[in-house]
Amino acid sequence: MANTKATSQIPSRAINLGGGGGVCMMSNTWRDEQHPSFINFISTFLTANAFRLNFVPIAPDFIFNCGGSSVAFIFVTSLDPICISQIFGRVQKLKLQFANLYVVITLPTKEKNDLFVRSYFKFGMELGKPTFVLVKDLEMGFEKMVKIAHSRGVCKREDATAKLKAERKQTVQAVNVFQRVVTSIPGIDSHDANALNQAIGSIEAISKASKEQILEKQTSLLTRQK
């Protein structure tokens, strides 16, 4: 599966995806199988997109941490018929270990594509488990990986933001309910509601207090304000 593509053969088309950022962990074993020029492209591309690159001994070829999302990748740079069984066996193993796993495979020719299709069904792959990403060349494959990791990170951040907005909305609604409940008590207006909340506590605490206790607290607060 080693890639020996010469530096002069790899076009430079690194682009900035915009709004990227995160950590990319690359397998030491995978790195050692690649041509130095491709590793240089990867490093440049990651830097342009605000990713930090670490070389580590990991089972997948890559793990991206982006926006709180972790995504693992197997990157097959050359589909060798001799290694087909090993490749798909590894896929079967890693899909049980990583919830977010993608398999990127470069298929530059029709023969390679046909080999992949036959092997996919031969080894009983289940559609989408994991997702296979088929590309024409190495750079396109890595760009796809970064885009997938970035997209999943954005989705997770937006989901977290949506939850935060929902919580804030619930808080505002709770405050409005508190205001309505407290101001329904005779002798108390909205100006006193926040002070009563600090003095007595929640709506539950207020509901357990007697009218006399609440009015006593209100009188005490008004006296201190004077």
Task: Report the C-alpha gap between 36 and 17 in whole angstroms.
Answer: 23
Number of neighbouring beta carbons within 10 Å of residue 149: 30
Can you list the domains of the chain with their CATH numbers? 7-159 (3.40.50.10130), 185-225 (no CATH)
Task: Report the C-alpha gap between 177 and 60 in whole angstroms.
Answer: 52
Helix (H, G, I), strand (E, B) or coil at 36: helix
Whether the CB-CB separation of 36 and 113 falls below 8 Å is answered with no
pLDDT per position in the chain (226 positions), as tens? Answer: 545 444 334 444 545 555 557 899 999 999 999 999 999 999 999 999 889 999 999 999 999 998 888 999 999 999 999 999 999 999 999 999 999 999 999 999 999 999 999 999 999 998 888 999 999 999 999 999 999 998 888 887 777 666 767 777 776 666 666 667 656 666 666 655 555 555 545 455 555 555 555 555 555 544 554 5
Number of neighbouring beta carbons within 10 Å of residue 106: 21
Q: Which two tokens stand for residue 15?
A: 């682009």
For residue 129, list its beta bridge partners. Answer: 126
| DSSP states along 153-190 | HHHHHHHHHHHHHHHHHHHHHHHHHHHHHHHTSTT--H
pLDDT at 153: 84
pLDDT at 71: 94
Give pTM, 2 decimals.
0.66
Helix (H, G, I), strand (E, B) or coil at 116: helix
Looking at this protein, which amino acid is placed at residue 148?
A: I
Whether the CB-CB separation of 30 and 59 falls below 8 Å is answered with no
Looking at this protein, which amino acid is placed at residue 64?
A: F
pLDDT at 150: 87
Strands (E), the chain: 22-27, 51-56, 62-66, 69-76, 101-106, 131-135
pLDDT at 216: 59
